[in-house]
Structure 1
């Protein structure tokens, strides 16, 4: 069995569709659930080990949809609700099935916030602050947190198996040292939150900026993720695919997209 990296969610904070929104993107997703986007997260499946990267508020639905019934540990890229809000969903898996706590790798700056927010999970998750640049070896692949440019301490993840993959869902460009580390990756999955004007240029990227980052890294493939679809100019999947069609190796992420490593 090949190692795989599966995108559980590919949307920004509001998800697509948003309950309060009737823009063309949300209308499209209501009419065709294939174009729905849950909040961002992924799973690195190494067969004997399954590493969850971020725990979105949609985690239960994501795990059911993808028929995932076990986890080995959890990596959080940063402490924003759309990336940690689903942590409570693993409680009964641990208590009733696993019978031993999961290691929760999280930003050093988020440990106290985690303990304050989830006091009832102290025997379910064991927090371990990750270290930028440390290579975590899981046998068939390694996982390395690298600095991202976001509003709080945030990591992107470099995964190296038979292929290399860089996963940066929340970043505005990359710090110089990170850009150097991910040069020539086979696959770059990156923040493309905004279509049109970027309201948060110090935290996120637009579609155009994401494509430019793919070029700067020399990535074999660039996959646009963390898509709001309605920031700041609403766009349908069909329209966006037409816009990026002229860029070789660039494609849109979709929930459930599986990449072989």
Structure 2
């Protein structure tokens, strides 16, 4: 499995429009964060988790020319707004794009992208095959088994996903004991760490570190990062050796 961080920023991205704080003004490329998403290459298959507003730019930057499916964590715009840009994959691959999400998320997508799901479609709109998933059932994409993990984004259920020894979680504030058991044993864990100060719906940096200590993966990466966390260089210096801040374009292989 090869994991590529397409974006590691929060809903506004970094830099934030109109902000001149040290993070937004930073010249370090690691402090330039598009909205959170990852790309997975597994056994010749290409999967994306979440298509945020920056999806097109992310696909171009990483030169991704094949996509077998899209999986959604939840319905917020910073995770779904780029869905229209699957069209080139429809044209190249000459097939509908399988889109995996819970019923609630699919219903929201159908409202926001109503033109995709109309009975009589305008020529050239995205071609989607909606696939319903549940937090309690393992599902497969092209023979790849994916285990959903429910986390709470304040009061909103969000799905994380475990594939083999890799677990990806974003937009979490709490994780129930039953769901934690699904994560334990992961070699690599990706977790959101928004900022240092309290937030109603996201892990703070300290809360994310505590969660890593509880789950005990071999390696952890933090994502969904706000400009309020601090510069990449400053924060990394304070982290234990097995925990790193992810950054846009970061890649690693997991055997």
Q: TM-score, normalised by structure 1?
A: 0.89
Aligned length: 245
Q: Give, in whole Å, the separation in 1 of the partners of 2:18 and 2:85.
A: 25
Alignment correspondent of 2:51: 55
Of the structure 1 ranges 205-214 and 235-244, higher mean CA displacement relative to structure 2 is found in 235-244
Match of 1:259 among 242, 252, 255: 252
8 Å contact kept, 1:186–1:220: yes
For structure 1, the residue ranges without an aligned partner over 5 or more in a row are none
Alignment correspondent of 1:227: 225
Q: CA deviation at 1:173?
A: 3.2
Q: TM-score, normalised by structure 2?
A: 0.90
Alignment correspondent of 1:42: 38
8 Å contact kept, 1:107–1:154: no
Alignment correspondent of 2:233: 238
Alignment correspondent of 1:101: 96
Map 1:146-157 onto structure 2 (within 5 A).
Answer: 146-150=149-153, 151-157=155-161
Alignment correspondent of 2:133: 130
Alignment correspondent of 1:23: 21
Return closer, same or farther for 1:186/1:141 CA change in 2, 3 Å cut-off: farther
Q: CA deviation at 1:48?
A: 2.7
Q: Give, in whole Å, the separation in 2 of the partners of 1:248 and 1:97.
A: 42
- The list of structure 1 runs, each at least 4 consecutive aligned residues, that deviate by more than 3 angstroms after superposition, is 137-141
8 Å contact kept, 1:211–1:222: no
Return closer, same or farther for 1:130/1:169 CA change in 2, 3 Å cut-off: same
Of the structure 1 ranges 209-218 and 235-244, higher mean CA displacement relative to structure 2 is found in 235-244
Q: Give, in whole Å, the separation in 1 of the partners of 2:105 and 2:114.
A: 14
For structure 2, the residue ranges without an aligned partner over 5 or more in a row are 118-125
Alignment correspondent of 2:162: 158
